Amino acid sequence: MGINSIMRLSSAIKSAGTIILNGPAGVFEVEDFALGTIEMLNACAESNGYVVVGGGHTATLIMNRGLADRMGHVSTGGGACLDYLAGRILPGIASLEVSADKFFMDVTKTVNSND
């Protein structure tokens, strides 16, 4: 990512009301290619919008740079985070919902059925 792209994207991010960042912007592990990712994270941190970050690499980088407290939500699940935001069923959450329905019945239903 070049400097002009970084400047344009940073400006758009800073003025957005909601930002969803999923994954790094390139090979951030290689110092010569890290600037784009770092500047995207900085723009997210400087934004007044609500920031949702997804992905283990990105979450780790945010934690290591001390930016986590400036984000609305940081998820280590990249694809799962996007699936959840898109309203798709996640197997783990579906299992918890089934378990809750089975083992934590609504107390009012139990009381009313004894009448």
Q: What is the 3-state secondary structure (H, E, C) of 10-52?
A: HHHHHHCCEEEEECCCCCCCCHHHCHHHHHHHHHHHHCCCEEE
Domain boundaries, the chain: 3-89
Q: What is the 3-state secondary structure (H, E, C) of 83-103?
A: HHHCCCCCHHHHHHHHHHHHH
Burial class for 101, CB neighbours closer than 10 Å (0-12, 13-18, 19+) = exposed
Q: How confident is the model at residue 113 (pLDDT cuts 50, 70, 90)?
A: low
Q: How confident is the model at residue 30 (pLDDT cuts 50, 70, 90)?
A: confident
Specify the amino acid at residue 3.
I
Q: In CATH, which superfamily holds the domain spanning 3-89?
A: Phosphoglycerate kinase, N-terminal domain (3.40.50.1260)
Q: Using one digit for the tens of pLDDT, what is the confidence trace for 39-92?
A: 999 999 999 999 999 999 999 999 999 999 999 999 998 899 999 989 999 999
